[in-house]
Amino acid sequence: MRKYHKKGIFTINQLSYLFKPRRQRKKRAHRPAGFNLELQALALRTGKIYLHQPPSIPAHLTELFLDMEGVPDRGTNYLVGLVVSAEARAECHSLWADSPEEERNLFERLVQIAGKHPDAPIFHYGSYEPKALERMSKKLGLGCESINSRLVNVNRFIFGKVYFPTRSNTLKELGRLLGAKWSSPDASGLQSVVWRLQWEVSKNTALKEKILAYNLEDCQALQILVAELRKIGEAAATRSDVDFADAPKQHATPSGWQIHGSLEGILQSAHAEYKKNRISIREDQQEDNSSQQGPGGRIGHQAYRRIVPTNVSKIIRVKRAMKCPRHKDKILEATDKQAEHTMIDLVFTKSGCRKQLCRYVGAIGRCPHCHRAFLPPQIKQFKSRLFGHAFEAWAVYQRITLRLPYRVISQTFQDLFSEQVRESTIVKFMTNMGEYYAGTESSLRRKVLSSPFIHVDETKISIQGADHYVWVLTDGVHVIFFLTETREATLIQKMLQGYTGVLVCDFYGGYDACECRQQKCLVHLIRDLNDDMWKNPYNPELEGFVGAFNDLLVPIMAGVDKYGLKRRHLHKHQQRVDRFFKNVISGQDYKCEITQTYQKRFLRYRDGLFRFLNEDGIPWNNNTAERASRHLAVQRKISGSFFKRVAEHYLLLLGIAQTCRFQGKSFLGFLLSKEKDIDEFKEKRRPKVTRLVVGQPIGDGERHLHQSTVSEPSHKKVPEGETSEER
């Protein structure tokens, strides 16, 4: 609200005019970026339903609609409502528990009813039901896997994808919009808790009936919502009350559509490559669809085959295959036919690199039993590849380390080695190298997960116009990257399951669900405090709060600079930390909203802020992860967008390159060595290019004389009237 107030936006009507449809990029995946407040305000102003992505909920003959009621602070559930919809009939079940001791019976009945319909999906709204089932299965030791595998959260079809003209996406507001009704006007989840607590005291039958009715009405509202989402998905293009957020429907008369089409054709004919891709705007000429480029070559396009070089510089004779792969006991017979394969590769020496053409020649073997011919194993492993490992490594090095685009790499091969390499071929090089070093990435992952601490961070990248997230994990020596479509930390939580070390991370809430010990990055906290002080320079309460934290932090950082991250030297500061939390955090009642926010933040992350004081070698900042991901951030600015099919291989190779960088090894040298273990790779000693100068240090005025010394012949004639010393 403060952000919008600074822009002069104070009403929902004003907010609705801020929404602008996103530009449709070529080959952009249609995926919502997140919840958009401006679009929600536009839906309220116009009364329409806006879609980022039409909902697609498959229909089944039998469907179950689930809603659970509980007391959250107790961690108990006392009511489960279930509506079974099958072939135009519905069965309503209300499973009630008078006390926590009856919870087992309640969930056993739920499993029994759901087991009667093993193929039916179970719809619910929100995350309460899955969490409650998981908690109860652990608490009571019940097997709820048959239910958990069928749960369908209806909210995931709505959040960020479907915008109803309501102020929120709660089931009550959406249900009332679609015609659902509740017998109690004040019905809500919080009110149901009040009714339950009142019933426990009075045992009033009317209160119980009110709770049961409210629970079943929630299930019925969920059923109405699912039916409406299916109608929207089927008739979104024709309904007048439904519109698309990024591509609003355009309305025109038949003659108007004709005019629009003519004008669009004229606009397209004005692009830079008009002569190459000519577009006709004549009325009597039919549209030519043959120019539309899809996967592969255009229909009718002339095909070409690469000319294999004949003037090879090296011929290598290889052994033929000896045994038949199908019949292990059969020895292959030698034939007169020869198999040949020419390979273009690079040879790197101390003075540079040069192109080399090698021809591999070997006899073809023939099986006397199955009469099949087999190539020599060394030729067969090339898989018809024309370029060698070093050639591909040089292309990958230019892409990863030098950050060159594919077009420039292709031009480099043309200028230096007279080889025409298309951009698609360079993409294939990336894929080949990614597959070759897949085991290296798995080894790096094992080493990172076995380290005493792990740095983790995430950054956003664009995959063909759609936002994705890249996660980096590093222990300061090994680095791995992986890609996800959303910022949800479920993959991190799954990867770190069972990890016994310390996770060094920022304050993103997704890391809080990780069960391992954590050290929060103090750099992020200090930066936030410093920025808020600049924004509020005359706030004495905030200034005193930050000053007290500064007084605590200065001697700790001095100890780190002097002794390093040693527990025996830093543990003594723990008493000062306890006094700080007692006097400044827990023992104060702050009035300023900003200070209250930081107070809650300190209380929430108390154990993770100063863990480095009590354990050896734990970093107090997350700079290592940011250092590992900085290369990707620079590449993101250069490239703008990545392709999905090559992004994963790019990140795999980038992790190897960053690992080589952290270990002070050459990424190109590692690729050329064909090694797969970076720790075992030993780089060749680099030649010295400088030598020690014995004597006094060279001054600025003498540097030029030492760098370029001119010796003149002794027999040169001295000009008349000038001695040799003067000259």
Tell me whether residue 665 is in a domain. Answer: no
DSSP character at residue 584: I
pLDDT band, very low/low/confident/very high, at 711 (cuts 50, 70, 90): very low
* Block residue for tokens 């069965």: 91
CATH code assigned at 211: 3.30.420
pLDDT band, very low/low/confident/very high, at 214 (cuts 50, 70, 90): very high
Q: Looking at residue 298, what is its pLDDT?
A: 63
Q: Looking at the predicted structure, is the pLDDT value of residue 295 above 80?
A: no
Q: Do 566 and 499 share a structural domain? A: yes
- Burial of 461 per CB tally in 10 Å (0-12, 13-18, 19+): buried
Q: Do 596 and 528 share a structural domain? A: yes
Contact 119, 60 (CB under 8 A): yes
Q: Which of 386, 419, 442 represents a domain boundary (last residue)?
A: 386
Distance of alpha carbon 395 from alpha carbon 390, whole angstroms: 9
Distance of alpha carbon 491 from alpha carbon 475, whole angstroms: 18
Q: Do 472 and 339 share a structural domain? A: no
Tell me whether residue 669 is in a domain. Answer: no
Distance of alpha carbon 646 from alpha carbon 432, whole angstroms: 11
Q: Which of 565, 594, 625 represents a domain boundary (last residue)?
A: 625
Q: Looking at the predicted structure, is the pLDDT value of residue 218 above 70?
A: yes
Distance of alpha carbon 518 from alpha carbon 271, whole angstroms: 55
Q: Do 258 and 326 share a structural domain? A: no
Q: Do 260 and 178 share a structural domain? A: yes
Contact 83, 91 (CB under 8 A): yes
What mean pLDDT comes out for the span 281-304?
54
Each residue's pLDDT tens digit, 36-82 = 899 999 999 999 999 988 899 988 889 999 999 998 888 888 999 99
Tell me whether residue 631 is in a domain. Answer: no
Q: Looking at residue 286, what is its pLDDT?
A: 46
What mean pLDDT comes out for the span 321-350?
80
Specify the range with the lowest mean pLDDT, choosing from 313-322, 323-332, 361-370.
Answer: 323-332
Smallest CA-to-CA distance from 249 within 236, 261, 258, 259 is with 236
Tell me whether residue 364 is in a domain. Answer: yes
Q: Do 179 and 56 share a structural domain? A: yes
Residues in the chain: 727
Tell me whether residue 675 is in a domain. Answer: no
Domain membership of residue 323 as a residue range: 314-386
Q: Do 254 and 342 share a structural domain? A: no
Q: Do 254 and 136 share a structural domain? A: yes
Q: Do 458 and 552 share a structural domain? A: yes
What mean pLDDT comes out for the span 722-726?
45
DSSP character at residue 128: H
pLDDT band, very low/low/confident/very high, at 258 (cuts 50, 70, 90): confident
Q: Looking at residue 274, what is its pLDDT?
A: 46
Smallest CA-to-CA distance from 468 within 22, 24, 27, 31 is with 31
DSSP character at residue 186: T
Q: Looking at residue 688, what is its pLDDT?
A: 78
pTM of the model: 0.64
Tell me whether residue 329 is in a domain. Answer: yes
Each residue's pLDDT tens digit, 379-389 = 777 777 889 89
Each residue's pLDDT tens digit, 143-177 = 777 788 889 999 999 998 999 999 999 999 999 99
What mean pLDDT comes out for the span 291-315?
67
Q: Is 630 helix (H, G, I), strand (E, B) or coil?
A: helix
C-alpha triplet 103, 108, 109: angle, nearest 5°: 100
Give Dmax over CA atoms of the chain in angstroms.
130
Tell me whether residue 599 is in a domain. Answer: yes
Q: Do 122 and 15 share a structural domain? A: yes
Q: Do 378 and 233 share a structural domain? A: no
**Amino acid letter, 32:** P
Q: Which of 586, 609, 625 represents a domain boundary (last residue)?
A: 625
Q: Looking at residue 268, what is its pLDDT?
A: 64
Distance of alpha carbon 418 from alpha carbon 410, whole angstroms: 10
Pairing between β-strand 49-51 and β-strand 242-244 as defined by DSSP bridges: parallel
Q: Do 466 and 379 share a structural domain? A: no
Q: Looking at the predicted structure, is the pLDDT value of residue 524 above 70?
A: yes
**DSSP string covering 204-232:** -HHHHHHHHHHHHHHHHHHHHHHHHHHHH
Distance of alpha carbon 50 from alpha carbon 117, whole angstroms: 35
How many domains in the chain? 3
> Which residues, other chains included, contact 60 with Cβ-Cβ below 8 Å and sequence gap of 6+?
119, 120, 121
Tell me whether residue 725 is in a domain. Answer: no
Contact 404, 426 (CB under 8 A): no
Each residue's pLDDT tens digit, 104-120 = 888 888 888 888 888 89
* Block residue for tokens 């102003």: 45
pLDDT band, very low/low/confident/very high, at 282 (cuts 50, 70, 90): very low
Q: Looking at residue 369, what is its pLDDT?
A: 76
Specify the range with the lowest mean pLDDT, choosing from 218-232, 514-528, 630-644.
Answer: 630-644
- CA 354 centroid distance within chain: 39
